[in-house]
Amino acid sequence: MQPNLVSYLALGGAIICEVAGSSFLHKSAQFTRLGPTAIMAMFYIASFYLLSVALKTLPLGIAYAVWGGLGTVLVALVSVVIFRQTLDAMAILGIAMIVGGVVIMNGFSHASH
pLDDT tens-digit map of 26-62: 999 999 999 999 999 999 999 999 999 999 999 998 8
**Residue 90 pLDDT greater than 80, yes or no:** yes
Mean pLDDT, the chain, whole residue set: 92
Q: What angle do CA 93, 21, 6 make, to 5 degrees?
A: 85
pLDDT value at residue 24:
97
**Residue 109 pLDDT greater than 90, yes or no:** no
pLDDT value at residue 61:
87
CA 109, 76, 15, 51 torsion-angle sign: positive
Which region holds residue 110: left if phi is over 0, alpha if psi is between -120 and 50, else beta?
Answer: alpha
pTM (2 decimals)?
Answer: 0.87
Q: What band does 112 get if pLDDT is binned at 50, 70 and 90?
A: low
Q: Which residues contact 74 (CB under 8 A, 6 or more apart)?
A: 15, 16, 19
